[in-house]
Amino acid sequence: MYPQHPRPSRVKSAGAHQQGYFAEDTIAAISSGTAGAITVVRISGPAAHAAVEALADSGSMNRNPPRKIFNTNLYARGGQKLDQAMAVYFRGPRSFTGEDMAELYLHGGAVVASGVMAALEVAGIRRALPGEFSFRAVKNGKFDLIRAQASADLIAATSDAAARLALEKMEQGQGKVISGIVKILMDVAVRVEAGLDFSDQEHCGEEAENERARTVVELKKAEAGLLSLKNGYERGRRIQHGIKTALIGLPNAGKSSLFNALVGEDCSIVSDLPGTTRDVLRERITLRGAGQDVALIVEDTAGLHDPSGKVETEGVLRARRAAMAAELLIFVVDPRTTPELAEKIRDEWQSMGAPAHKTIGVVSKCDLVRTAGRRRAKEALLFLDISIWFETAAMTGEGIDRLKAGIADYCGKWVSRDDGEILLTDSAQYDAVSEALEHVGRAVCTKEGELVAADTRRALHALRALAGGDAAGLSEEVLGGIFSRFCIGK
């Protein structure tokens, strides 16, 4: 028999007629993993407290004040005990989202978590969309959009460098930079518009000239700020998301073996049959060099060769595409590469635009060949003009650590960042800044007051999703794009 526990019926939730991020109903999500000792479930919305009442020991809410953690059993609607847990509730607006909230700390494991989530659903609580808690926090003015995005970056960070950048953004770094630019543009727009109102009045020529010069100076300041944000994006993206890296070379060179050695897992099939790898496999890794650590998105590709058959042809096509799109190429070479074999890659290399400037060479399978042999292989490939080579044996692990550190050092310049320098990491933010920059550029070159005002307003409009604060002024589409990249429960 289950212990007798009075179960209230469905909790009423408000605003259920609205859909998506703008719905004002009550949401719940698992905000932690379920593999550890404790699983955290978060609940937010008008019925959050009623939901705790529905699941917890009766009278728990009366016995315990907000913000104080307490022990309670949790039950399903039928009275079935789900867990002995800890719980805490918050009264809005003094909560993360600004709404009534609760958090349940369950015993870990997927079974307990899914039982509690199902019981919440029975109580009328909807499962949260990705980032929906953060969205509500932004909507209710608890958090600005920039900080919300920075916190999502922090959660997704795979390197110290990415975590540091995200933390600095959360500490208002990016907000300050953007709001400085927004303020300049706002002042320009207001002043120019005010000037338009007086334009029918007698305006002394010199005064108008001075006013115009001042506007240009201010617009150029905003332009410089936007340009530096735009130029920093590539580094920011690489820091946050990783440098796009492709392993290339002839079939059987040892690419898949090296890929597995770098990733630390047997992800890619290794075989002495040329053409084993057909699709492009992709993994994220973080490497530590002498300087900062570097995140890579590494792709293992099919070898570069004349393919036979439809599937192989597609595989080679994808390999070429991956190589062209990559920011870093790791060119893997068998130490027994003869000048005749080397010739096979000459055309391929030329058609890729001879990308030596972004290529590290690796002589693989070094356990098989002595130093002199390895040197001969490199000599056969001198025409590639690759300036940095490593020697490895994926099978024995020889040279792998040296290669990892070498890659990190080679790429260090692509992810360097000055102390406190704010870099964009998000492509939508980059697009917004680029668009704003175009409008400001036009405004700088225009003499016509009306056009200057219009372009400045357009620039401000483009920056609205970066300017923090007012999420309510943004469309569902813009917000969906921003928050859907967050994890569930954030």
Ligand X SMILES: Nc1nc2c(ncn2[C@@H]2O[C@H](COP(=O)(O)OP(=O)(O)O)[C@@H](O)[C@H]2O)c(=O)[nH]1
Give contact residues for ligand X (rule: CB under 6 A): 249, 251-257, 270-272, 276-277, 303, 364-365, 367-368, 393-395
| Contact partner, 272, from Mg ion, ligand X, none, Cβ < 5-8 Å per class | ligand X
Binder of residue 253, out of ligand X, Mg ion, none (CB less than 5 to 8 A by kind): ligand X
Residues in the chain: 490
CA distance 81 to 111: 13
Distance CA(307)–CA(312), nearest Å, equals 5
DSSP summary character for residue 279: S
Instruction: Name the one range near Mg ion by CB under 5 A: 221-229, 270-278, 346-354, 419-427.
Output: 270-278
64 contacts Mg ion (rule: CB under 5 A) = no
Tell me whether residue 72 or residue 268 sits nearer to ligand X (CB atom): 268
Of 80 and 276, nearer to ligand X (C-beta) is 276
Among 44, 245, 256, 425, binds Mg ion (CB under 5 A): 256
To ligand X, the closest distance from the beta carbon of 398 in angstroms equals 8
CA distance 423 to 350: 34
Three-state DSSP class for 391? Answer: strand
Residue at 9: amino acid letter: S
Smallest gap from Cβ 224 to Mg ion, in A, equals 47
Q: In the set 39, 158, 215, 277, which binds Mg ion (CB under 5 A)?
A: 277
Q: Which of 325, 234, 344 is nearest to 280 (CA)?
A: 325
Grouping H, G, I as helix, E, B as strand and the rest as coil, residue 339 is helix
| Residue 174 interacts with, from Mg ion, ligand X, none (CB under 5-8 Å by kind) | none
For residues 16, 19, 24 and 28, what is the CA-based torsion angle, rounded to 10 degrees?
A: 90
According to DSSP, residue 56 is labeled B
Q: How far is the CB of 313 from ligand X (least distance, A)?
A: 16
Segment near Mg ion (CB under 5 A), from 196-204, 248-256, 332-340, 350-358?
Answer: 248-256
Residue 189 or 296: the one with the smaller Cβ distance to Mg ion is: 296
- Least CB distance from residue 156 to Mg ion, whole Å? 29
Strands of the sheet with 328-333, listed across from one edge: 281-288, 293-300, 243-248, 328-333, 359-363, 389-391
Q: Tell me whether residue 159 or residue 256 sits nearer to Mg ion (CB atom).
A: 256
Site membership for Mg ion, residue 252 (CB under 5 A): no
Query: At 103, which helix (H) or strand (E)?
Result: strand 101-107
- For 127, 244, 355, the CA distances from 430, given in Å and listed in that order, are 31, 18, 26
Residue 72 interacts, among Mg ion, ligand X, none and using kind-specific CB cut-offs from 5 to 8 Å, with none
Residues binding Mg ion (CB under 5 A): 255-256, 277
